[in-house]
């Protein structure tokens, strides 16, 4: 058994899907239809991300989120913000190795500093 996809519900479907395509260089497995799309890694590595449109914003925050590992945290945070992410006002503990961002649909995710050999 393996994970087939991580499903994300989103109020801003088109903006959220476009953001994650650009952020991860993922491509649609098939064209989006009826507010549903599965994005896959363009090289066949990594899990699929599925997006399902919702007509309202969530009532609360999910406890599930993505951690994106990077060897160049500052550059990748800047790139993601330029794609439409926003910085989330998180209270960081000293020495935190992550930055919390919010995608265009309001989903939180972390950009974690991890050297190449520690992924």
pLDDT digits (tens, 9 = 90+) for 78-119: 999 999 999 999 999 999 999 999 999 899 999 999 987 655
**Closest-CA residue to 51 (of 73, 77, 23, 32):** 32
List Cβ neighbours of 2 (8 Å cut-off, separation of 6 or more). none
Report the interhelical angle of 13-24 vs 73-83 (nearest 10°): 150
pLDDT computed for residue 48 by the predictor = 94
* pLDDT of 1: 53
Mean pLDDT of 35-41: 96
Task: Specify the pTM.
Answer: 0.85
Cβ atoms 28, 20 nearer than 8 A? no
The residue among 59 and 7 whose pLDDT is bigger is: 7
Distance CA 38, CA 107 (A): 17
* Mean pLDDT computed over every residue of the chain: 91
What six digits make up the tokens of 45? 């590595």
Q: Where are the domains of the chain?
A: 5-55+65-118
- Mean pLDDT over 41-70 rounds to 88
CATH number assigned to the domain covering 5-55+65-118: 3.10.180.10
Give percent of the chain above pLDDT 70: 97
């Amino acid at each position: 058994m393996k994970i087939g996809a991580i499903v994300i519900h989103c109020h801003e479907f088109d903006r959220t899907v476009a953001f994650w395509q650009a952020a991860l260089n993922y491509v649609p497995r098939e064209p989006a239809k009826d507010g549903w799309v599965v994005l896959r890694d363009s090289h066949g590595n990594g899990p699929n991300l599925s997006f399902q449109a919702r007509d309202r914003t969530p009532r609360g925050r999910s406890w599930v989120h993505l951690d994106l590992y990077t060897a160049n945290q500052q550059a990748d945070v800047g790139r993601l913000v330029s794609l439409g992410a926003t910085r989330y006002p998180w209270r960081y503990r000293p020495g935190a190795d992550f930055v919390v961002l919010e995608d265009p649909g309001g989903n939180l995710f972390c950009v974690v500093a991890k050297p190449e050999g520690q992924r």
